[in-house]
């Protein structure tokens, strides 16, 4: 807790009135107690707003004696704000109440410097999933009659979940190198929502399932977009929207050095993918039939006045830069450089650099060191042209030189503490036509066989990494994309792997064969009654009917 903030965690009815008093906000003319907006006055809560000079004289009976007092009047409560959940076509759930519903991660933060009271929590409806809520209130110092309560709702997907979708991410983890239990802030990786949205888009492109896209898929995209738009706050000083208090894919960095609260500001991957979600959701909304769009907006209670803000946020989210590269997050450039050679010499393997440093009573939060790809995940998730389009919409210039410099910068500062790290870097380098891509590809293939994590495979294989290697071959080496009702292919020249082949399912076609050998790209479509497939190699357009095979001569190219 800093000298300017007070924080309360949890919900304790017996001490609510005390917290309400201490969380009172005032501007010299009126003051409002820090009561919860969903509750009326009662035994637990005592909402109150009082204005200077607004008194009332009243006679009361106290212990048998008539007593006359003149007191400040408790004015009409301006805080009441309730909500309830409904999922798709299900009935509305009960009105939310902190007294009857379970609150997860419930906190109040009183910022004495900014004069704000922020309440955040997560709420699980019986059938409605997990809802993240943030409420911020203030009383205006310039206009003595003005106050505001801002409520942020959105679909916040859990970082880890099990049987019923609840957040299952551990809150503490053991560092075996020091024997100490440490807070785990992985649940702040809100970028998982963007990954869900991306998978919805990829599924619909691959299957052509427009019914799903226009119903459940569209609803998911709308709610994820709403979450990002509500989470982004405009910084008047820069004219940019900012997303604060998150953890990026790197996972090593979960707070600023010496900070009393977890989370980082303006993680580049988080902000760029959030902008992508907003852009794609707006595009989908424009393409929907009018009746479907009206039905969808009514179902999710979307006010069309929200859409201009979504567009504005998608164009003005902040992405930090330093030294000619994309910054992993705001303030990354101020971190110290690590002596990588010294640590490798001392420990041999430094894949879990975070544990090594913590055992030395240090923290990886102080250094420019990543566990795995963070900024470079943009090159894994999107095709080469997509990040440039995203940055251009945001008003930033991202050319090949900047991206190449960014790739080199973070490669030198990554410990590869995850089995996913090698395959992500392998795909990014392959797309950039880099010769060193093969060493990462091979490491990804050998991850479990060679047990490169030093004993973890004995507890079970790394299923995510194994699935990732298939994705690396299917999507990375072939340049495979599914968009605009076509299969796009742009094979990567990788001398160490000159031949490969696999099958995939696309738009109702089972067993579409894709293979490379002897400078040829071969695509075969099994016989069926489905429509022909449109294939888009880098330099032509080909239509392949069921039962046909097409061989294309690949342009000669040398790896970088």
The total number of residues shown for the chain amounts to 560
Per annotation, catalytic residue among 251, 330, 443, 481: 251
H or E stretch covering 518: none
Can you read off the two tokens belonging to residue 514?
Answer: 């894709």
In the three-class reduction of DSSP (H, G, I as helix; E, B as strand; rest coil), residue 285 is classed as: helix
Q: What is the DSSP letter of 314?
A: H
State the Cα–Cα distance between residues 551 and 540, nearest whole angstrom. 13
User: Virtual CA dihedral for 386, 387, 390, 391, nearest 10 degrees?
Assistant: -150
Beta-strand pair 147-155/500-506: unpaired
Residue 301 Cα to chain centre, angstroms: 23
Contact 282, 314 (CB under 8 A): yes
In the three-class reduction of DSSP (H, G, I as helix; E, B as strand; rest coil), residue 225 is classed as: helix
State the Cα–Cα distance between residues 336 and 4, nearest whole angstrom. 27
Can you read off the two tokens belonging to residue 265?
Answer: 């500001």
Contact 495, 439 (CB under 8 A): no
Residue 552 Cα to chain centre, angstroms: 40
State the Cα–Cα distance between residues 130 and 61, nearest whole angstrom. 49
State the Cα–Cα distance between residues 353 and 346, nearest whole angstrom. 12
Respond yes or no: is residue 251 known to be catalytic.
yes
Half-sphere exposure of 12 (CA within 13 A, CB side): 9
Written as one string, the DSSP assignment of 22-63 is: HT-EE-SSEEE----TT--SSSS----EEETT-EEEEEEEET
In our burial notation (b when 16+ CB lie closer than 10 A, e otherwise), range 115-149 reads ebbbbbbbbbbeebbbbbbbbbbbbeeeeeeebeb
Contact 120, 261 (CB under 8 A): no
What distance, in Å, lies between the first and last C-alpha atoms of the chain? 50
Catalytic machinery residues: 251
């Amino acid at each position: 807790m800093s000298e300017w903030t007070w924080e309360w965690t949890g919900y304790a009815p017996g001490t609510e009135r005390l917290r309400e008093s201490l969380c009172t906000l005032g501007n010299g003319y009126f003051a409002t107690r820090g009561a919860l907006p969903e509750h009326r006055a009662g035994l637990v809560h005592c909402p109150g707003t009082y204005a200077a000079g607004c008194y009332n004289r009243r006679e009361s009976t106290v212990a048998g004696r008539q007593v006359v007092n003149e007191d400040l009047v408790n004015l009409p409560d301006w805080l009441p704000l309730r909500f309830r959940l409904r999922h798709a076509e299900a009935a509305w759930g009960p009105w939310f109440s902190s007294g009857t519903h379970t609150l997860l991660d419930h906190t109040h933060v009183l910022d004495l410097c900014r004069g704000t009271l922020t309440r955040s929590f997560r709420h699980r409806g019986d059938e409605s999933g997990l809802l993240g809520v943030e409420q911020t209130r203030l009383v205006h110092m310039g206009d003595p009659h003005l106050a505001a309560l801002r409520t942020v709702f959105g679909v916040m997907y859990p970082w880890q979940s099990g049987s019923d979708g609840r957040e299952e991410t551990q809150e503490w983890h053991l560092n075996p190198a020091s024997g100490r239990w440490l807070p785990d802030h992985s649940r702040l990786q809100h970028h998982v929502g963007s990954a869900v949205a991306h998978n919805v888009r990829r599924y619909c492109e691959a299957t052509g399932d427009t019914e799903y896209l226009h119903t459940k898929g569209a609803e998911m995209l709308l709610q994820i977009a709403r979450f990002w738009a509500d989470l982004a706050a405009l910084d008047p000083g820069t004219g940019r929207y900012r997303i604060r208090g998150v953890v990026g894919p790197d996972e090593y960095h979960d707070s600023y050095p010496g900070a009393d609260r977890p989370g980082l500001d303006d993680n580049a991957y988080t902000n760029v993918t959030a902008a992508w979600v907003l852009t794609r959701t707006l595009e989908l909304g424009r393409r929907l039939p009018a009746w479907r769009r009206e039905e969808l907006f009514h179902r999710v209670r979307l006010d069309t006045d929200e859409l201009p803000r979504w567009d504005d946020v998608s164009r003005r989210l902040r992405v930090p830069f330093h030294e000619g590269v994309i910054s992993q997050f705001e303030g990354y450039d101020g971190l110290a450089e690590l002596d990588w050679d010294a640590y490798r010499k001392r420990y041999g393997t430094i894949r879990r650099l975070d544990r090594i440093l913590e055992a030395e009573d240090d923290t990886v939060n102080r250094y420019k060191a990543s566990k795995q790809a963070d900024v470079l995940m943009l090159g894994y998730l999107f095709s080469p042209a997509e990040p440039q389009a995203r940055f251009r919409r945001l008003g930033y210039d991202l050319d090949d030189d900047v991206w190449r410099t960014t790739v080199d910068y973070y490669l030198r500062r990554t410990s590869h503490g995850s089995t996913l790290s090698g395959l992500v870097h392998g795909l990014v380098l392959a797309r950039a036509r880099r010769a060193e891509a093969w060493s990462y590809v091979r490491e990804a293939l050998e991850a479990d066989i060679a047990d490169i994590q030093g004993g973890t495979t004995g507890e079970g294989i790394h299923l995510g990494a194994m699935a990732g290697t298939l994705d690396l071959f299917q999507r990375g080496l072939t340049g495979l994309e599914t968009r605009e009702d076509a299969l796009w292919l742009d094979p990567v020249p990788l001398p160490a792997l000159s031949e490969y082949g696999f099958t995939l399912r696309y738009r109702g076609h089972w067993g579409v064969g894709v293979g490379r050998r002897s400078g040829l790209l071969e695509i075969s479509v099994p016989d069926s009654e489905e429509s022909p497939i449109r294939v888009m190699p880098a330099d032509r357009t080909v239509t392949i009917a069921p039962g046909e095979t097409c061989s294309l001569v690949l342009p000669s190219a040398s790896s970088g």
